[in-house]
Amino acid sequence: MKKQFLLLIFVIKHILVSGASFKTTDSIPEPEKIYHLGEVIVSESPDREIVNQKTMQKTNQYELGTSINILASIHLVGSGARNESTVYLRGFDLRNVPVFIDGIPIYVSYDGYVDLARFTTTDLSKIEISKGYSSILYGANTMGGAINMVGYKPEKKIEIQLNTGISSGKGHNFAANIGHNWGKFYLSANISRLQREFLPLSKDFKTGNIETDYKLDNSYRKDDKISLKLGYNPNAANEYSLNYVYQQGEKGNPLYLGSNETIKLRYWQWPHWDKQSIYFLTKTSIGEKNYVKTRLFYDNFINQLKSFDDASYSTQTIRSAFTSNYDDYSYGGSIEAGSYITNNQQIKIAAHFKSDKHRENNEGEAVRTFADYTISLGVENEWKPLEKLKLIPGLSYNLRKSITAEDYNTDTDEISQFPENENDAFNMQLASYYQITHNISVSYTLAHKTRFATMKDRYSYRLGIAIPNPDLLSESALHQELAAKFDFASLFSIQPSVFYSRLNNTIQMIDNVEQGISQMQNTGKAQFYGADASVYFRPSKKLNISANYTYIKRQNIIAPEIKFTDVPEHKIYALVDFSFMKNLNFVASTEYNSERFSTSDGTINDGFSLLNTQISYSFGQYLKIESGVNNVLDANYSLTEGYPAAGRNYYLSVIFKLHK
| pLDDT > 90? residue 652 | yes
Measured CA to CA, the distance from residue 290 to residue 461 in angstroms comes to 50
Cβ–Cβ under 8 Å, residues 458 and 468: yes
Of 282, 393, 415, 304, nearest in space to 347 by CA: 393
Cβ–Cβ under 8 Å, residues 132 and 479: yes
Cβ–Cβ under 8 Å, residues 91 and 564: yes
Q: Measure Cα distances from 42 to 22, 126, 392 in Å.
A: 38, 16, 9
| pLDDT > 80? residue 513 | yes
Cβ–Cβ under 8 Å, residues 94 and 86: yes
Cβ–Cβ under 8 Å, residues 189 and 211: no
**Would you tell me how many other CB atoms lie within 10 Å of the CB of residue 525?**
15
Q: Measure Cα distances from 330 to 107, 108, 109, 505 in Å.
A: 10, 9, 8, 27
Q: Which residues pair with 175 in a beta bridge?
A: 163, 192
Please state the domain count of the chain. Answer: 1
Measured CA to CA, the distance from residue 133 to residue 416 in angstroms comes to 41
Mean of the pLDDT values across residues 524-546? 93
Residue 8: per-residue pLDDT:
38
Measured CA to CA, the distance from residue 200 to residue 77 in angstroms comes to 18
Residue 24: per-residue pLDDT:
31
Which pLDDT tens digit goes with each residue over 171-219? Answer: 999 999 999 999 999 999 999 999 999 999 999 999 999 999 999 999 9
**Side chain identity at 570, as an amino acid letter?**
H
- Output the domain CATH number for residue 382: 2.40.170.20
- From 6-10, 42-46, 369-373, 427-431, the region with the lowest mean pLDDT: 6-10
| pLDDT > 80? residue 632 | yes
DSSP 583: T
Which pLDDT tens digit goes with each residue over 324-381? Answer: 999 999 999 999 999 999 999 999 999 999 999 999 999 999 999 999 999 999 999 9
Residue environment code for 367-393, b if the CB has 16+ CB neighbours within 10 A, otherwise e: ebebbbbbbbbbebbbebeeeeebbbb
Residue 472 C-alpha from the chain's centroid: 26
Mean of the pLDDT values across residues 96-116? 94
Mean of the pLDDT values across residues 87-99? 96
- In the chain, pLDDT over 90 holds for what percent of residues? 81
Report the chain's C-alpha Rg in angstroms: 25
In sequence order, the 6+-apart residues with CB closer than 8 A to the CB of 114 are 86, 94, 99, 106, 107, 108
DSSP calls for 159-211: EEEEEEEEETTTEEEEEEEEEEE-SSEEEEEEEEEEEES-EEPPTTS---SS-
Which residue would you say has higher pLDDT here, 62 or 18?
Answer: 62
Q: Is the pTM of this model over 0.95?
A: no
Task: Work out the end-to-end distance of the chain between its first and last CA atoms, rounded to an integer number of angstroms.
Answer: 51
Residue 45: per-residue pLDDT:
55
Cβ–Cβ under 8 Å, residues 619 and 655: no
| pLDDT > 80? residue 592 | yes
Residue 42: per-residue pLDDT:
56
| pLDDT > 80? residue 11 | no
Three-state SS for 660? coil
φ, ψ at 596 (rounded to 5°): -145, 160
State the burial class of residue 560 (Cβ atoms within 10 Å of its Cβ: 0-12, 13-18, 19+).
exposed
Which pLDDT tens digit goes with each residue over 278-325? Answer: 999 999 999 999 999 999 999 999 999 999 999 999 999 999 899 999
Cβ–Cβ under 8 Å, residues 125 and 67: no
Measured CA to CA, the distance from residue 578 to residue 615 in angstroms comes to 10
Measured CA to CA, the distance from residue 461 to residue 418 in angstroms comes to 13
**Would you tell me how many other CB atoms lie within 10 Å of the CB of residue 21?**
10
- Domain interval for residue 206: 2-659
State the burial class of residue 225 (Cβ atoms within 10 Å of its Cβ: 0-12, 13-18, 19+).
buried
Mean of the pLDDT values across residues 80-91? 91
The average confidence (pLDDT) of the chain is: 91
DSSP 286: E
| pLDDT > 50? residue 25 | no
Which residue would you say has higher pLDDT here, 69 or 260?
Answer: 69
